[in-house]
Chain A
Amino acid sequence: MIQQAAYRRRWRPTRYWLAAMIAAALFVVLVLSSVASLAIGPVPLRATLFGLPGVGFVIAATFFALRALHDHEPGIRLRDATRAAALFVVGIFLWLAVVDVYTFTQEAGPGVATACAIACVPTTAIGLLVIRRFDRNEKEPWRLVLVAALWGAVISTSLVVWAEGLWDLVFTATLVPGPAADTSAAYSAGIFEELAKGTAVVLLYLVMRDEVDDVVDGIVYGAAVGLGFNFMESVSYMTHQYAILAPVGLGAAGAAGQWYFRQVVGLFFGHATFTALIGAGIGIARQMPLISQRLLVTASGFLAAIAAHFAWDAWQAFVLVGSSSTQLLVANARYVLVIGPFAAVVLLLLVMGQHVEGRALRRHLEVEAAGGLGAVLPYEVALLMSPWQRFQARLAALGRGGPGAYLGLARLQRAQLHLAMERWHRERREIDQPLAAEEALRQHVLELRG
């Protein structure tokens, strides 16, 4: 209801077409990648068998798509087209997950790969919980945060495997081993991995712009994509280390070392920071009035992510050699010295974004309360602006009326903040039909209030 009312904008067709073109290009690249995996790669027949459910989903999607083309009733056409799109996306995810899992875990076998994945789940979940908490005023829906993470884990990793392989073949392998080859590989990782991850944030912005309100939301979604990518990369490196060191009895230690660096020290100081920079750029672009500003700030976000990733990878060419304790110290310090400054910028942008957003929401909640329409009452403004007070109010509702009351109040608070956010976007002329949208949201709040 909220989306229908609030986000029918004149830019939507353009955005959707742009998103469709990007998605189509990605699909072509992924098909080529999968075909190449089968034709010249080491993926065996059993992996393709495991991918059959994915193929089944694509067949079902084709069925619904064809039916949508033949239906004359607009409602049925829309329903079938939606089903076809959803099934298609699920099918692609499944298939790529199979290819990914095999590509990244073949060395150590499925048992070790599963153990590594299980070890990475709690840390990644904590990471997602934390970044979602960054958005203290209006938390992003879990379904979108998880889709972003899933994209990072499955789609982005699939996209970069062949791109980096080709770069290595054409450039890095022709260079003298050492700093030159390391620098070339760092360019490859920075450019391809950040483009693959950043595409997810761009698509989210184009398709679900009503959920990407500002720089804070951009950082949340960007970091979520990064955490997903980091999950799959961690599993890949853990299994790789295990496979190499297991014959000499150090497999578990090698995998544990990778887990420590990638899932503890590097959980936030790594891919999460890189892609958060892209998200920050897109989040700021979302609120810029001129297209030139939007393009410039989006490009800056991508450049920052690529440069941060490049700096991180290139550093290994100059890591000090010495005793293992020295190397351990350097390995830890590397996170602070190289990624620390970029992470500090992300935090600065986050705090500034929260400040801007908080000030705007407070102002609009106050105006709404002063209007006397009943959606927001004057005494609720301070409460709504404090996550802690909102939580305390929900706890009090839980005590009074049980879980139903708790959830009901949570929905009300969310709708009130949505309304304030909507007013803010209207004030900034970032939407087309603000009055109808605003009224629809207000009615929604009043219904929730009962």
Chain B
Amino acid sequence: MVETHDDLRPLYRIMLVLGLVSVVILASGFALLLRFAPPGQHSGYRAHITGVYAYDPATASITGSAMTRFHRDQPFAATVDWGNLPAGMLVSARWTDSLDDDVGSTQPTPVAAGRLAGENALVPVRASREFGTNLPGPYTLTVVRYARGQPVELLATARVTVLRDP
């Protein structure tokens, strides 16, 4: 009987080393997750998105009643009850489109909730410069709290749909 088990040892060892490297990669990922979503950041506050409305860019105001579906050529903006949050809390609100591109946010980022409350700040979606209209699909609004220069807590989300038909 020829002993040939040794033939496979290099293959076996390579796989084990690769398995160890993989554990390191996955652990690094977890460290990354903790870096950008540090534990213990739950403030207990929730932002209240009061609605998403048709928006007139010329007057920078909302019209009509709250809706969840918009046409592609119909600008829209969200209203948030900023007064519900502590005035000194640094926050930001951001719209992302169906391609996960940033299509509108509060300025500057981040900004004190008190300032946004004072301005009655809306969060409008700006139509794509390239296409002139919004792309169809789901649009997501997220309101986040900042600490030490980075977003650390999700305070609210809302989702609306832009229809394919113009």
Contact = CB atoms under 8 A, between A and B. Distances in A.
A248 B137 CA distance: 13
Contacts of B96: 177
A303 B2 CA distance: 33
Q: Which 5 A-B pairs have the closest CB atoms?
A: A300-B19, A307-B22, A180-B37, A180-B36, A303-B22
A428 B4 contact: yes
Interface string B6-18: 0110111011101
Interface string A164-199: 000000000111111110011011001000000000
Contacts of B128: 248
A264 interface: no
Contact of B29 (A186, A296, A297): A186
Contact of A304 (B2, B22, B33, B98): B22
Contacts of A383: none
Interface in B8-54: 8, 10-12, 14-16, 18-19, 21-23, 25-26, 29, 32-33, 35-37
**Residue of A184, A296, A428 with most partner-chain B CB within 10 A:** A428
B166 to A, nearest CB: 7
Interface string B93-110: 010101100000000000
Nearest to A107: B137
A245 interface: yes
Nearest to B155: A176
Interface of A: 173-180, 183-184, 186-187, 190, 215, 243-248, 277, 280-281, 284, 287-289, 293, 296-297, 299-301, 303-304, 306-308, 310-311, 314, 345, 348-349, 352-353, 356, 359-360, 363, 427-428
Given A310-B29, A314-B32, A349 B14 contact: yes
Contacts of B142: 176-177
Contact of A427 (B2, B25, B153): B2
B11 A352 contact: yes
A288 B133 contact: no
A184 B26 contact: no
A278 to B, nearest CB: 11
B19 A184 contact: no
A11 B103 CA distance: 59
Interface string B124-166: 0000100101011100001010000001111001000000101
B154 A244 contact: no
A183 B29 contact: yes
A84 B16 CA distance: 41
A173 B156 CA distance: 10
A429 B33 CA distance: 47
User: Which of B4, B8, B18, B166 has the most chain A CB within a 10 Å cutoff?
Assistant: B18
Contacts, number: 130
Contacts of B157: 173
- The residue in B14, B96, B166 that gathers the most chain A C-beta atoms within 10 A of its C-beta is B14
A210 to B, nearest CB: 19
B154 A174 contact: yes
A245 B135 contact: yes
Contacts of A359: 7
Contacts of A348: 14
The residue among B15, B21, B35, B72 with the most chain A CB atoms within 10 A of its own CB is B15
Given A177-B144, A280-B15, A284-B12, A243 B164 contact: yes
Contact of A300 (B4, B16, B131, B152): B16
Interface of B: 1-2, 4-5, 7-8, 10-12, 14-16, 18-19, 21-23, 25-26, 29, 32-33, 35-37, 72, 94, 96, 98-99, 128, 131, 133, 135-137, 142, 144, 151-154, 157, 164, 166
Nearest to A311: B25
B12 A176 contact: no
A183 B15 contact: no
23 contacts: A176-B151, A176-B152, A177-B96, A177-B144, A183-B32, A183-B33, A187-B26, A243-B164, A244-B135, A248-B135, A288-B12, A297-B19, A300-B15, A301-B19, A303-B18, A304-B18, A307-B21, A307-B22, A352-B11, A352-B14, A363-B2, A427-B1, A427-B2
A342 to B, nearest CB: 8
A244 B22 contact: no
> Which one of B5, B16, B22, B98 has the highest number of Cβ atoms from chain A below 10 Å of its Cβ?
B22
B16 A296 contact: yes
Given A177-B96, A427-B4, A307 B26 contact: yes
Contact of A314 (B5, B22, B29, B154): B29
Contact of B151 (A178, A244, A280, A428): A178
A247 B166 contact: yes
A360 B164 contact: no
B135 A293 contact: no
Contacts of A174: 154
A356 B36 contact: no
A352 B32 CA distance: 35
Given A178-B151, A284-B12, A304-B19, A247 B4 contact: no
Nearest to B20: A300
A388 to B, nearest CB: 25
Given A176-B154, A303-B19, A306-B26, A428 B5 contact: yes
A173 B37 CA distance: 12
A89 B16 CA distance: 35
Given A244-B135, A349-B11, A349-B14, A306 B5 contact: no
Given A243-B164, A428-B5, 20 more contacts: A173-B157, A176-B37, A176-B151, A176-B153, A176-B154, A183-B32, A183-B33, A187-B33, A190-B26, A247-B135, A287-B8, A297-B15, A297-B19, A299-B19, A301-B15, A303-B19, A307-B22, A345-B18, A360-B4, A363-B2
